[in-house]
Amino acid sequence: MMPLRALLYRRPSEPQTIQVVFDQAIYPVRIRRHRQARRYTLRIHAASREVILTMPPRGSVREAKEFAQRHGGWIAARLRRLPEAAPFADGTVLPLRGVQHRIVHRSGVRGTVWQEAGADGEGLLCVAGEVPHIDRRVSDFLRREALRDLDAATKRAAERFGVSVKRISVRDQSSRWGSCSATGVLSYSWRLILAPPFVLNYLAVHEVAHLIEMNHSSRFWRLVQGVCADPARAKVWLDIHGTDLHRFGMPRAGQ
Q: Which residues pair with 27 in a beta bridge?
A: 20
pTM of the model: 0.77
Q: What does the alpha-carbon distance between residue 92 and residue 189 come to, in Å, rounded to a whole number?
A: 21
Condensed to tens digits (0 to 9), the pLDDT of residues 115-130 reads 999 888 899 999 999 9
Calculate the alpha carbon distances from 229 to 104, 223, 246 in Å.
36, 11, 26
**Spatial CB neighbours of 15, under 8 Å, sequence gap ≥ 6:** 31, 61
Indicate the burial class of 96 (C-beta count within 10 angstroms; 0-12, 13-18, 19 or more): middle
Condensed to tens digits (0 to 9), the pLDDT of residues 173-219 reads 877 899 999 888 999 999 999 999 999 999 999 999 999 999 999 99
Q: At what angle do helices 134-161 and 218-227 cross, to 10 degrees?
A: 100
Give pLDDT, residue 188.
97
Do 228 and 202 meet the contact criterion of CB atoms below 8 Å apart?
A: yes
Q: Which residues pair with 78 in a beta bridge?
A: none
DSSP assignment letter at 253: T
Condensed to tens digits (0 to 9), the pLDDT of residues 38-72 reads 999 999 887 778 899 999 998 999 999 999 999 99
Do 134 and 161 meet the contact criterion of CB atoms below 8 Å apart?
A: no
Structural domains of the chain ordered from first start: 4-81 (no CATH), 93-245 (3.30.2010.10)
